[in-house]
């Protein structure tokens, strides 16, 4: 292979790497590019974004009640939120178990505050978070669901969430949505969880848990986690 072809192949690989990074690598035209340095700079820039998201202030939510009952015209695919990463599985968004443990006092505090505000069992909120994101604050699904309680863009906007990667905002928003689904379905936990996952319109359409494999598994997993947390006796 001649030198021009090698250069072209390298540029192609650089483009592929950049397409998967949440920030761009500053790679110049030089043949002597230090790829390790460029990657480290990109990772450091992304770390700054993550820290800023963690430390952002919580805004008081303005709630779209029509959205909570499935009547809103807000599109779930419409987003005004900057995406921290392009994939839930990205190594640039997944925190280590040690990092998650360091954040647990803050996560638990947000769970307790939201539970008290809506009269929810904190163990239920915790079970939803466990199944939604595995306690990853920067989780981003392929469908665009964001944060600990995996809020879709349109849902987050309707809930008044301005930063879905902020721990307090996300948990308050998700708890608000869960509360209104419980209210919408007369306290039926299975239907409320199904609505949280598939939307209230789907539950109403089928008159129960929709015949979606993912939703049916989701409801069972959350209920199992809920029972586990209740058996543990921790708040």
Q: Is residue 137 within 8 Å of 174, Cβ to Cβ?
A: no
**Alpha-carbon radius of gyration of the chain:** 21
The angle subtended at Cα 43 by Cα 106 and Cα 31, nearest 5°, is 180
3-state DSSP helix/strand/coil percent for the chain, to nearest 5? 60, 0, 40
Give the position of tokens 């409320």. Answer: 192
For residue 177, the tally of other CB atoms under 10 A from its CB is 26
- Report, as residue numbers or ranges, the catalytic residues: 132
d(CA 33, CA 30): 6
- Structure tokens, 65: 């009640």
């Amino acid at each position: 292979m001649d030198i021009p072809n090698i250069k072209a192949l390298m540029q192609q690989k650089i483009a592929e790497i950049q397409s998967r990074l949440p920030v761009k690598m500053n790679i110049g035209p030089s043949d002597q590019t230090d790829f390790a340095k460029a990657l480290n700079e990109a990772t450091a820039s992304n770390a700054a974004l993550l820290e800023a998201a963690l430390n952002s202030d919580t805004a008081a939510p303005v709630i779209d009640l029509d959205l909570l009952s499935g009547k809103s015209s807000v599109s779930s695919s419409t987003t005004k939120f900057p995406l921290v990463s392009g994939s839930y599985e990205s190594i640039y968004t997944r925190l280590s178990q040690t990092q998650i443990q360091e954040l647990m006092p803050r996560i638990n505090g947000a769970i307790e505050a939201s539970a008290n505000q809506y009269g929810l069992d904190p163990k239920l909120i915790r079970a939803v978070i466990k199944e939604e994101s595995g306690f990853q604050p920067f989780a981003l699904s392929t469908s665009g669901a964001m944060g600990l309680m995996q809020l879709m863009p349109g849902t987050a906007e309707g809930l008044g969430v301005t930063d879905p990667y902020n721990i307090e905002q996300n948990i308050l928003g998700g708890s608000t949505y869960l509360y209104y689904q419980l209210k919408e379905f007369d306290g039926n936990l299975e239907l409320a969880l199904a609505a949280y996952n598939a939307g209230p319109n789907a539950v109403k359409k089928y008159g129960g848990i929709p015949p979606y494999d993912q939703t049916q598994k989701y409801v069972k997993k959350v209920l199992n986690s809920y029972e586990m947390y209740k058996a543990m006796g921790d708040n």
